[in-house]
Amino acid sequence: MGMFAGAVFIRNEQQLTKEQLLEIFTVSMQEKGYTACDEKQAQRHFAFAFSGKWFSICGTEEELSTNLKFADTAFEKFPMFTADLVDSDFVEICLFDADGNITDHRCIGEPYWGDEDIFEDATDISAWSAYLKEGVTLNDLQEAVDAQEVFAESAFDAFGELIELDRNLFFDKEALEFSEELRNFVTILYFKKA
């Protein structure tokens, strides 16, 4: 059985510190009527990881839309994309501009939900051009998207390297429980309704 995870990746163009980004998110949550708390009192939690010019809020597939909503409110002028990893078979990616408009929607790997037609128009990958690492071309990026790997998260790693995402920020709760290395670079914020 493969891995399921959903992540919101947020571009940190201003290269704010981890502490500044977490503070922005905490203030946004306070404006929504939440207060920071410990794990036992928490009604919501958000797992953050930082890598290169990106950081992520990662969780389950089911948490993806909620995490996107909270991220979009807190980091509303930051470019971001979602990545939904399905059973390690494919990653559905949706890129948003700073105004929240979808600028690209595609899959890495082969989706199997029977509606592959929605990706027929996903041939122009140019929306990613602003995020490419120096020296990387759009052709390089397209090749990474088209690569066939046994595990979709491996193909996503290759894609991520090209857009300055220095490490795979996909993780799930099970991975956090069993990986000390992962726990060392993940920060979890806990909130309850005030």
Three-class HEC string of the chain = CCCCEEEEEEECCCCCCHHHHHHHHHHHHHHCCEEECCHHHCCEEEEEEEECCEEEEEECCCCHHHHHHHHHHHCCCCCEEEEEEECCCEEEEEEECCCCCEEEEEEEECCCCCCHHHHCCCCCCHHHHHHCCCCCCHHHHHHHHHCCCCCHHHHHHHHHHHCCCCCCCCCCHHHHHHCHHHHHHEEEEEEEEC
pLDDT at 41 (0 to 100)? 96
Question: Would you list the domain boundaries of the chain?
Answer: 5-114+168-193
Residue 156's φ and ψ, nearest 5 degrees, are -65, -35
**Chain segment 13-53, per-residue pLDDT in tens:** 999 999 999 999 999 999 999 999 999 999 999 999 888 78
Q: What is the mean pLDDT of residues 102-130?
A: 76
Supply the mean pLDDT for the chain.
Answer: 87
Q: How confident is the model at residue 109 (pLDDT cuts 50, 70, 90)?
A: confident
The predicted-structure confidence for 185-194, as pLDDT tens digits, reads as follows 789 999 999 8
Q: How confident is the model at residue 111 (pLDDT cuts 50, 70, 90)?
A: confident
